[in-house]
Amino acid sequence: LDRSEEGVWRYKEFMPCNKEVSVAEGNTPLYETDQLADWVGVKSLYIKNEGSNPTGSFKDRGMTAGVSKAIELGLKNVGCASTGNTSAALSIFAAKADINSVVLLPAGKVAMGKVAQAIMHGAKVISIKDNFDKALELIQEVSERENVYLLNSINPVRLEGQKTIGYEIIEQLNWNVPDSIFLPVGNAGNISAIFKGLREWRNLGLIDKIPKMVGIQSEGSKPFVDAIKNEKETIEQEMNPETLATAIRIGKPVNGPKALEAARETNGTAESVSDEEIVEAQKKLARLEGIGVEPASASSVAGLKKLVEKGKIGKEEEIVCVTTGHLLKDPEEVADVCKKPIEVEPNLDKIIDLIND
Ligand code: F0G
């Protein structure tokens, strides 16, 4: 490994291109928890906090690779459909590389922080009056008709960057392989990426096993969970996905086949959680450990708690939950689920009364 590099490009031997554009992505903290582990009911729980990336989500890892590839190919236009985070990451790397980016978003269903990033970094932002699945279909057609390089996770270069999440976890645990890795599943790219990376390391003999890969979805949007639970060979599209975790409001995961393989080959599984369970886990992460995450991220912890309660995950297991996006991505959700600030006159007695209330 190249000790002069940190983050994604530390693993350049495992990447499909050279570093052409970077904003110091990756190298995110792995927190050992105690109170959260108690709440969940396991002895050993780590949080790999991808919200610490420059744009506040793991998508930066995929985009440093994806946009580097675009530059290597001499391309000047990149595009994606997105529930928000992918668009934020694409636009920052396109800005840094001085190329054009276009993003298609599902109108009204993208958290404010993510739209803010895409428009501030200078992407052409188009909101489609339909959901993410339709936006993805459309951007694929755009990329076939126009000179736009598609950077959704259907592009395998993206997954090559994201697989470094797994490499960092192993190194941060001093080459100890955890029993399970939990993560939220939307388009199913990330679970596939981490699995691919760790399989490469296992095949090289760098590690001797791959953790169980466990994918968590929201109850209103769970085509992957249905396929795992019903032992289906393919994933059936959920036509009207709905959840407060808008990042994973996806009915047709394009990386479905790879993700099914990731869960099945590792003896992993999948579980769904309600929006209420997601919010509860989000508050526990924030208040027990000081880790602020957006709702989709908290689903990994909510799903773990559920599987521990069902007896499907042992209390002695060593678990890593990947929290994929930062709390500030979705301030409107926070305003909806937390107590409002108390507004008062600038009067000392009133303030003291409120403090002692
Ligand atoms: N968590 C967050 C915060 C996400 O933004 C996403 C996906 C996921 C989890 C799921 O990852 O798709 O690889 O299974 N967001 C995409 C986007 C779809 O457009 O930002 P996945």
Q: Give the ligand 1 atom nearest the CA of 86.
A: 20
Residues linked to residue 81 through DSSP beta bridges, in sequence order: 104
Complex ipTM > 0.90 = yes
pLDDT at 52 over 90: yes
The answer on whether 27 is annotated among ligand-binding residues is no
User: Could you report how far apart the first and last alpha carbons of the chain are, in Å?
Assistant: 56
pLDDT band at 58 (very low <50, low <70, confident <90, very high): very high
Which residues, in sequence order, are CB contacts of 119 under 8 Å at separation 6+? Answer: 125
Decide: 40 and 308 in contact? Cβ < 8 Å.
Answer: yes
pLDDT at 3 over 80: no
Looking at residues 146-150, what average pLDDT do you find? Answer: 97
Looking at residues 230-242, what average pLDDT do you find? Answer: 97
pLDDT at 330 over 80: yes
Between β-strands 318-323 and 44-49, what pairing exists: parallel, antiparallel or unpaired?
A: parallel
Of the candidates 338, 190, 217, the residue with the CA atom closest to the CA atom of residue 277:
217
Regarding the beta carbon of 189 and ligand 1, being less than 6 Å apart is answered: yes
Question: Which token pair is 305?
Answer: 């708690």
Question: Which token pair is 310?
Answer: 């069902």
| pLDDT tens per residue, range 163-195 | 999 999 999 999 999 999 999 999 999 999 999
Query: What is the pLDDT, as a whole number, of residue 4?
Result: 85
Regarding the beta carbon of 324 and ligand 1, being less than 6 Å apart is answered: yes
CA distance 151 to 157: 8
Q: Give the ligand 1 atom nearest the CA of 57.
A: 3
Helices 164-172 and 189-203, interaxial angle, to 10°?
A: 60
pLDDT at 238 over 90: yes
Domains of the chain as residue ranges with CATH: 7-56+158-336 (3.40.50.1100), 60-155 (3.40.50.1100)
pTM confidence score: 0.97
Question: Which token pair is 102?
Answer: 């276009």
343 CA from centroid of ligand 1 (Å): 36
Regarding the beta carbon of 270 and ligand 1, being less than 6 Å apart is answered: no
CB neighbours of residue 234 within 10 Å = 10
Question: Which token pair is 268?
Answer: 């992993």
pLDDT at 1 over 80: no
pLDDT at 305 over 90: yes
Between β-strands 30-33 and 149-150, what pairing exists: parallel, antiparallel or unpaired?
A: unpaired
CA atoms within 13 A on the CB side of 268: 32
SS (HEC) of the chain: CCCCCCHHHHHHHHCCCCCCCCCCCCCCCEEEECHHHHHHCCCEEEEEEHHHCCCCECHHHHHHHHHHHHHHCCCCEEEEECCCHHHHHHHHHHHHHCCEEEEEEECCCCCHHHHHHHHHCCCEEEEECCCHHHHHHHHHHHHHHCCCEECCCCCHHHHHHHCHHHHHHHHHCCCCCCCEEEEECCCCHHHHHHHHHHHHHHHCCCCCCCCEEEEEEECCECHHHHHHHCCCCCCCCCCCCCCCCHHHCCCCCCCHHHHHHHHHHCCCEEEEECHHHHHHHHHHHHHHCCCCECHHHHHHHHHHHHHHHCCCCCCCCEEEEEECEEHHHCHHHHHHHCCCCCCCCCCHHHHHHHHHC
pLDDT band at 89 (very low <50, low <70, confident <90, very high): very high
- Choosing from 109, 164, 194, 324 the residue with most ligand 1 atoms within 8 A of its CB, the one to mutate for a pocket test is 324
Which residues, in sequence order, are CB contacts of 226 under 8 Å at separation 6+? Answer: 232, 235, 236, 238
Looking at residues 224-236, what average pLDDT do you find? Answer: 97
One-letter amino acid of 356: N
Decide: 79 and 150 in contact? Cβ < 8 Å.
Answer: yes
pLDDT at 121 over 80: yes
- Choosing from 222, 248, 297, 326 the residue with most ligand 1 atoms within 8 A of its CB, the one to mutate for a pocket test is 248
Q: Residue of the nearest CA to atom 9 in ligand 1?
A: 184
Q: How far is CA 76 from CA 1, 41, 72, 342, in A?
A: 31, 50, 10, 50
